[in-house]
């Protein structure tokens, strides 16, 4: 069952080929036997999952099953789950059990989905390799010497290894799409405001967005239908009707206008990655799409703008972790200042401290106008680049990442790590939706094709990705890891 997609498993449950308990038990057994090597999970809630699977079976027998009834999923450990540890990959929250559910967790539960556990991640979603976790790095199931990408690397690795058919992640600068590309699966970052952020622990509030990672675009459509929608508890959530994404997957690509940003095919792009991406674009041409070159002239400013805005918002959001109300608290503080200093020094990892310091500096008196305000002005220019491009074309395509997954420990320099997100960060600054789909290999490591669309055009985006997957078999490839349990 571990090789089946989410939609195939839903059909199998509906046809009575297996029960929800059997499906969840199989997932738990794979996690128990395989995740010791991958380290993709922080917390597994086996007893609760099986109880919920039994409830889904009873609901199905009674004719009351929800659209995701009995399907096992995993959640990035940044989504609050009532009574379950929500650590954000940090020592700071190692013993924190959330008193409430995030909105997306509520919606999944109401749809009948079974949460198997919480997946590993870069601490507070700060990283591109999943090496910044208090719980240790996650390994890529395609090559255990490689990173799975980040910060949603645990979710991506768990899906790629067949531990779960789908998982939720978050994307602040590429943290769904890049690990999806590195792990050879499909990952969707929705439009900012399409999915509620309530109960999703904040990194950079104007950039964070939750979304699905799964085998296929059809699976992502099924999940997005459930988690999308307005939420009165999230002031950035948009009151807009949620389309039937699954029903719109079969839209013809005839006449589709595809733009190739010339800035995405320049220096720094691995030749094998470029070859795989251009071959994927030829598939679209064979399906009736028209391709032309476009320009996003402010692309080179995306990383510097992002690494002013995101750390500034992070320094504000993470100020709440002071040892007073919840989370880690240092032993025997001598006074309040000592409590603050030692709690935060002990609780946060190196990368989180680096970004807090950068953010605090850029927001300080004398630097706000020079850095933060200027970065926001650049952000507006980047957004306008996309709006202008979408006046000419329907979607944009290019590589998700400049290279395939790199080796564990290979990126020692923080700036080199930041450059891994060169093609994904601008998407978050502009707030548009993007998806990464498997499009080939560079050596034995997967390559992702990134597809971008205008704001709230997820239906078109998913349809474009689905049609590619109907014409190719890259999404059907499976790593050798874990095949002994087939």
Active site residues: 76, 151, 175
Query: Which residue, 103, 115, 144, is CA-closest to 44?
Result: 115
Q: What residues are paired with 398 via a beta bridge?
A: 450
Count of Cβ atoms closer than 10 Å to residue 320 Cβ: 11
Count of Cβ atoms closer than 10 Å to residue 178 Cβ: 32
Query: Which residue, 45, 47, 169, is CA-closest to 117?
Result: 45
Distances from the Cα of 110 to the Cα of 56, 103, 311, 456, angstroms = 11, 11, 35, 24
Omega of the bond leading into 41 within 30 degrees of 0 (cis): no
Find out whether 371 and 358 touch, Cβ atoms under 8 Å: no
Query: Which stretches of 111-265 are DSSP H helices?
Result: 153-160, 177-183, 217-227
In terms of DSSP bridges, do strands 186-189 and 434-442 run parallel, antiparallel, or are they unpaired? antiparallel
Query: Which stretches of 240-270 are DSSP H helices?
Result: none
Give 293's contacts (C-beta < 8 A, 6+ positions apart): 259, 260, 261, 262
């Amino acid at each position: 069952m571990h090789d089946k997609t989410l939609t195939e498993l839903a059909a199998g449950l509906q046809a009575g080929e297996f029960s929800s308990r059997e499906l969840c038990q199989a997932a738990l057994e794979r996690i128990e036997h395989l995740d010791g090597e991958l380290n993709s999970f922080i917390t597994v809630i086996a007893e609760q999952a099986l109880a919920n699977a039994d409830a889904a079976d009873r609901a199905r027998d009674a004719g009351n099953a929800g659209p995701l009834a009995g399907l096992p999923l995993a959640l990035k450990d940044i989504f609050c789950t009532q009574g379950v540890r929500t650590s954000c990959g940090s020592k700071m929250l190692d013993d924190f059990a959330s008193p409430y559910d995030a909105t997306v967790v509520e919606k999944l539960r109401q749809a009948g989905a079974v949460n198997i556990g919480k997946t590993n991640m870069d601490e507070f979603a700060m990283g591109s390799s999943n090496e910044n976790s208090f719980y240790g790095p996650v390994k890529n199931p395609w090559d255990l010497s490689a990173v799975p990408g980040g910060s949603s690397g645990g979710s991506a690795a768990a899906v790629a290894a067949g531990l779960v058919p789908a998982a939720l992640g978050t994307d602040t600068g590429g943290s769904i799409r890049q690990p999806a590309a590195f792990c050879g699966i499909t990952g969707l970052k929705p439009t900012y405001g399409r999915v509620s952020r309530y109960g999703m622990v904040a990194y950079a509030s104007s950039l964070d967005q939750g979304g699905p990672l799964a085998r296929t675009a059809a699976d992502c459509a099924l999940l997005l239908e459930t988690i999308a929608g307005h939420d009165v508890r999230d002031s950035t959530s948009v009151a807009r009707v949620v389309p039937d994404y699954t029903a719109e997957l079969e839209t013809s690509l005839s006449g589709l206008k595809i733009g190739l940003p010339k800035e995405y095919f320049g220096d720094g792009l691995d030749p094998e990655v470029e070859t795989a991406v251009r071959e994927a674009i030829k598939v679209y041409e064979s399906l009736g799409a028209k391709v032309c070159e476009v320009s996003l002239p402010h692309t080179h400013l995306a990383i510097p703008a992002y690494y002013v805005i995101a750390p500034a918002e992070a320094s504000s959001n993470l100020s709440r972790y002071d040892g007073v109300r919840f989370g880690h608290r240092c032993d025997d503080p001598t006074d309040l200042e000592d409590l603050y200093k030692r709690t935060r020094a002990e609780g946060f990892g190196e990368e989180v401290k680096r970004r807090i310091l950068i953010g605090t500096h850029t927001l300080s008196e004398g630097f706000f106008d020079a850095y933060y305000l200027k970065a926001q002005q650049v952000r507006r220019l980047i957004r306008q680049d996309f709006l202008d491009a979408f006046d000419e074309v329907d979607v944009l395509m290019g590589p998700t990442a400049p290279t395939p997954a790199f080796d564990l420990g290979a990126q020692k320099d923080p700036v080199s790590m930041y450059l891994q997100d060169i093609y994904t960060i601008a998407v978050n600054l502009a707030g548009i939706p993007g998806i990464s789909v498997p499009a080939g290999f560079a050596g034995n490591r997967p390559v992702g094709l990134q597809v971008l669309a205008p704001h709230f055009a997820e239906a078109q985006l998913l349809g474009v990705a689905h049609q590619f997957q109907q014409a190719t078999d890259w999404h059907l490839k499976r790593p050798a890891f874990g095949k002994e349990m087939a």
